[in-house]
Amino acid sequence: MVAYVIILGMSAKKRRKAGKTPQQSKRLGQRIQAWFQDRNPVLKFLLGFTGCMGAFYLFYYSGLYRNYLEAPFLNAQARLGNALLQLFGQDTIVTGSTIGSDAFSVNIKNGCDGLEATAILVSGILIFPVSLRKKFTGLGWGIPILFVANILRIAGLYLSGKFFSKSVFDVLHIQGGFILFTLLSVVLWFIWMNWATKATVKSLPS
């Protein structure tokens, strides 16, 4: 857009100097305009999505969440992860947001709570233009799936730290855990969008 404005704002002499004829400038301007028009609904959607994520981060970094909700939420996740590990015969205990044993311990911190990935799914569902009923169905399935997946991830990270080296744990922590977990949220969002728009999609030419 900036390039378009600059080129159109040039005098004929300057345009010639820049090696562009008026037709070429117009073509470039039209192309940029066409690019925006072509992506108009997607860009609007992304703007709304970014706004929703912005609202989430305002809450996530607020005193309300940090002072009152964060500790009990992380503790609940640690307890569930611990229960799962004990089910697999691990001798672990929970202290605050830490699951530990004599062999290894993991501390669940901000970013490992799965809330950002959940917010991506929730924002995507809330901003997508379908009926409220379909949105609630998506949220009703998506949030519990991500919550359970995060507990599995936490338990898995504990096991990887206990049975493998620190470098394996580090790779799984960022690559395996964080990135794949976020992708799971995106895939769930896509599955829901496909389901929610099924009726419309069926009528599309193949």
Partner 1 sequence: MKPILIAGLKYLLYFCLLYGTLTAISLIPQVGHTLNSIYRKPTEAILKKTFPSVYLHLKANEADADIIQVEYISQKRLAEIRQSAGRNTVKVQGKFYEFYFYNTFLSFYIFFLALILLSPLPRKEMAVGLIAGTLLYYLFSVFRVIMALAFFFNNPSADIYHASEFWVSVIKGINEFLTLGINMLVVIILWAGLVFRKNNWRKLLIDT
* Closest approach of partner 1 to the CB of residue 140, in Å: 16
Indicate whether 137 belongs to the interface with partner 1 (CB under 8 A). Answer: no
Cα gap 16→20, rounded to integer Å: 5
Residue 106's beta-bridge partner residues? 99
* DSSP element (H, E) containing 105: strand 105-107
**Using CB under 8 A, which of 43, 55, 71, 93 touches partner 1?**
43
75 interacts with partner 1 by CB under 8 A:
no
Question: How far apart (Å, rounded) are the C-alpha atoms in residues 64 and 87?
Answer: 34
Binding mask 100-129 for partner 1 (x = CB under 8 A): ----------xx----x---x---------
DSSP tag of 39: T
User: How near is the Cβ of 83 to partner 1 at its closest, in Å?
Assistant: 26
- CA 154 to CA 104: how far, in whole Å? 13
Cα-based torsion angle of the residue sequence 111, 112, 118, 119 in order, rounded to the nearest 10 degrees: -10
Q: What CA–CA distances, in Å, run from 100 to 37, 41, 88, 162, 171?
A: 54, 48, 15, 10, 20
Q: Least distance from C-beta 188 to partner 1, angstroms?
A: 7
Closest CA to 115 of 62, 60, 67, 61: 60
> What residues between 3 and 42 interact with partner 1 by CB under 8 A?
37-42
Least separation in angstroms between residue 5's CB and partner 1 is 20
Closer to partner 1 by CB, 161 or 177: give it.
177
85 and 92 in contact (C-beta within 8 Å)?
yes
Stretch touching partner 1 by CB under 8 A, among 11-19, 84-92, 150-158, 170-178: 170-178
The count of residues interacting with partner 1 (CB under 8 A) is 39
Beta carbon of residue 3, minimum distance to partner 1 (angstroms, whole number): 14
Question: Interface with partner 1 by CB under 8 A: which residues?
Answer: 37-43, 46, 49-50, 53, 57, 61, 110-111, 116, 120, 171, 174-175, 178-180, 182-184, 186-188, 190-191, 193-195, 197-198, 200-201, 204
